[in-house]
């Protein structure tokens, strides 16, 4: 068995970097898609989504009551499921990312329009925590969108000792 050398470690690091740069964003895309599919499908099932009431309330406020109740929940479920399917499949990806951008306005807006309800005692409720985790989903969407629009994520050239 050969000794571990700086050269071996550098080669291993370079190989890991190459693999991560090649596959990580696609893995993120599919993972994000699965999250959206799960959240969206739950909203189609009466009583299954813990976020249903928050989603309906948010859509009602954002549309000034034009879209409310079951229609608001169905719209949210359809959007989230569509976003998830485009992310998982890679088909209609740019369209799905546009829908994601629109959805993220609704997803994040409770932090502004329902702040008092989300932080009634100054600490976040479970609903607030649910909305806060969406910051990560938004960031993932930005990375996926950048790649879909042609950004290249490549490792910087490294010198092997």
**Distance between CA atoms of residues 28 and 74, nearest Å:** 26
Phi-psi region of 147 (alpha: psi -120 to 50; beta: other; left: phi over 0): alpha
Give the distance from CA 12 to its chain's centroid.
31
**Distance between CA atoms of residues 10 and 12, nearest Å:** 5
Q: Where are the domains of the chain?
A: 6-148
Q: Look up the pTM and report it.
A: 0.85
Question: What pLDDT, on a 0 to 100 scale, did the predictor assign at position 158?
Answer: 52
- Give the residues of the chain that fall short of pLDDT 70: 1-2, 154-161
**Distance between CA atoms of residues 54 and 57, nearest Å:** 5
Q: Which of 104, 111, 103, 105 is nearest to 129 (CA)?
A: 111
Q: Rounded to the nearest 10 degrees, what angle do helices 93-108 and 69-89 cross at?
A: 140
Question: What pLDDT, on a 0 to 100 scale, did the predictor assign at position 86?
Answer: 98
The CA–CA distances, whole Å, from 37 to 19, 48, 109 equal 27, 14, 21
Are 60 and 68 a contacting pair, CB within 8 Å?
A: yes
Question: What pLDDT, on a 0 to 100 scale, did the predictor assign at position 154?
Answer: 66
Dihedral pair phi/psi, residue 130, rounded to 5°: -60, -45
């Amino acid at each position: 068995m050969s000794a571990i050398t700086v050269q071996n470690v550098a080669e291993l690091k370079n190989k890991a970097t190459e693999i991560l740069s090649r596959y990580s964003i696609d893995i993120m895309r599919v993972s994000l898609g699965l999250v959206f599919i799960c959240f969206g499908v739950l909203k189609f099932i009466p009583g299954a989504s813990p976020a249903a009431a928050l989603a309906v309330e948010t859509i009602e406020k954002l549309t000034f009551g034009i879209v409310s109740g079951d229609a608001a929940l169905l719209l949210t479920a359809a959007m989230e499921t569509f976003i998830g399917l485009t992310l998982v499949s890679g088909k209609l990806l740019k369209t799905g990312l546009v829908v994601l951008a629109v959805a993220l306005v609704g997803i994040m807006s409770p932090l502004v329009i329902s702040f008092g309800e989300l932080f009634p005692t100054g600490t976040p409720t479970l609903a607030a925590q649910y909305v806060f985790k969406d910051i990560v989903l938004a960031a993932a969407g930005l990375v996926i969108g950048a790649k879909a629009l042609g950004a290249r994520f490549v490792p910087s050239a490294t010198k092997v000792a």
